[in-house]
């Protein structure tokens, strides 16, 4: 509050003069209040920016999920937007199973971990083909499927057949060649079939080869 020590024409009430210590304390408290208000406003602004970033991130994530689901096509009804496990038509089809072993028919495991020995040509007795609708084989081995093992198109690079891959082709020049699998780690990771002779060169290209440094004499200056 403003205090007047001398009278004047304004006829204000006279008060005792404030001490300089009190004035300095009041000024310091005002500065502290200004800084706290400024800090709180900056903190609120930072929180608002963080909330907006989180909302944009969630929206982008939801868009990616919806885009991925839109590209998904059911193998059973051939309709987009869902997989075979979520297909409503599978529930009405008693012959088509989604969580059973195609080799032995068990519901406790899948065919990739099944240890039951089955005769050749009858590996998938409990599987139902998506192409012809018959049981006993998969779609890749169906005679009515023109693409065979290559759903996106293509064929064996040696003989042109769609019933096997290049690694299993009987026309390979080297019969005893050992085929190994190598995982390519990266953005477009996939499995590549390579021979044992090419394995070392591929790994040398992938790994960083350290160059040998020539030893130089150390010069000491006094």
Residue 85 lies in a domain: yes
Q: Are residues 134 and 180 in the same domain?
A: no
Tell me the torsion sign for CA atoms 61, 62, 63, 67.
positive
- The model's pTM is 0.35
Q: pLDDT tens-digit profile of 42-87?
A: 888 888 899 999 999 999 999 998 888 888 777 667 777 777 777 7
Six-digit token string for 44: 């609120």
String of DSSP letters for 147-204: STT-TTS---TTT--SSS-GGG-TT-S-SSPPEEEEE--STT--EEEEEHHHHHHHHH
As to burial, measured by CB atoms within 10 angstroms (0-12 exposed, 13-18 middle, 19+ buried), residue 101 is buried
Q: Are residues 132 and 106 in the same domain?
A: yes
Q: pLDDT tens-digit profile of 180-198?
A: 444 444 444 444 444 434 4
Residues spanned by the domain of 124: 72-142
Q: Are residues 63 and 84 in the same domain?
A: no
State how far the alpha carbon of 163 is from the alpha carbons of 110, 135, 138, 141, 181, in Å: 23, 19, 12, 7, 20
Phi–psi pair at 123, nearest 5 degrees: -75, -30
Percent of the chain at pLDDT exceeding 70? 60
CA dist., res. 1 & res. 143, Å (int): 99
Q: Are residues 66 and 114 in the same domain?
A: no
């Amino acid at each position: 509050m403003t205090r007047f020590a001398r009278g004047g024409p304004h006829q204000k009430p006279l008060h005792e003069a404030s001490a300089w210590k009190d004035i300095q304390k009041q000024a310091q408290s005002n500065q502290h209040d200004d800084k706290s208000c400024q800090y709180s406003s900056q903190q609120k602004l930072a929180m608002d920016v963080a909330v907006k970033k989180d909302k944009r991130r969630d929206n982008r994530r939801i868009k990616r999920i919806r885009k991925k689901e839109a590209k998904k096509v059911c193998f059973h009804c051939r309709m987009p937007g869902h997989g075979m496990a979520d297909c409503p038509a599978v529930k009405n089809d008693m012959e088509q199973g989604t969580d059973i072993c195609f080799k032995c028919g068990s519901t406790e495991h899948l065919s990739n971990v099944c240890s039951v020995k089955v005769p050749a040509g009858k590996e998938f007795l409990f599987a139902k083909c998506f192409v012809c609708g018959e049981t006993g084989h998969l779609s890749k081995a169906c005679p009515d499927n023109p693409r065979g093992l290559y759903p996106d198109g293509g064929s064996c690079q040696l003989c042109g057949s769609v019933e096997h891959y290049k690694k299993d082709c009987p026309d390979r020049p080297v019969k005893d060649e050992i085929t190994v699998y190598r995982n390519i780690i990266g953005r477009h990771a996939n499995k590549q079939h390579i021979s044992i002779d090419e394995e070392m060169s591929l790994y040398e290209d992938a790994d960083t080869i350290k160059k040998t440094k020539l030893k130089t004499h150390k010069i000491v200056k006094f």
